[in-house]
Amino acid sequence: MKKFVNEFKEFISKGNVMDLAVAVIIGGAFKTIIDSLVNDIIMPVIGGVTGGVDMSELTFNVRGSEVSYGMFLNATINFLIIASIIFVIIKLLSKLKRKKTVTEVAEVKAVVAEEVILLREIRDTLKNSGN
């Protein structure tokens, strides 16, 4: 049992678990913003275009059971907005990472080039002093 507890402590203290916990908390807060965007801005615009239809109230009945497909449409729109925003964020982060990598490679090449020049000068000096 002690081994299990120690392994669990090690697992829970790893950075990935903490990163995931932070992501879940931020995701929950982000969902509130997206819900407001969809319910308070996008859906009223869609309702205005469709003649005042509130999509969240769209339903149909099947043998006495009410199916709220409008709520499903709202959830689908929420998902698409969240997915597109995450996609854009990931694209921007990968672009920034690529720029950083290119800059680092250029800096390393510059340092190597300076070292090569210096080594060549030393070699030439040694070659000339040997004559």
Write out the two tokens for 70: 């409008």
The yes-or-no verdict on residue 17 having pLDDT over 80 is no
Q: Which ranges constitute the DSSP H helices of 14-129?
A: 15-36, 43-49, 69-129
pTM above 0.75, yes or no: no
Mean of all residue pLDDT scores within the chain: 81
Residues 2, 80: Cα–Cα separation, whole Å: 45
Domains and CATH numbers, the chain: 2-96 (1.10.1200.120)
- Cβ-based burial of 74 (10 A; exposed 0-12, middle 13-18, buried ≥19): buried
Q: Which of 68, 47, 48, 49 is nearest to 57 (CA)?
A: 68
CB within 8 Å of 112: residues ≥ 6 apart: none
73-89: pLDDT as tens digits: 888 887 888 788 888 88
What is the SS3 assignment for 65?
A: strand
Tokens, residue 81: 């907005």
* Confidence at residue 131, expressed as pLDDT on a 0 to 100 scale: 58
pLDDT in tens, 42-70: 878 877 887 776 777 888 999 999 998 98
pLDDT of residue 79: 84
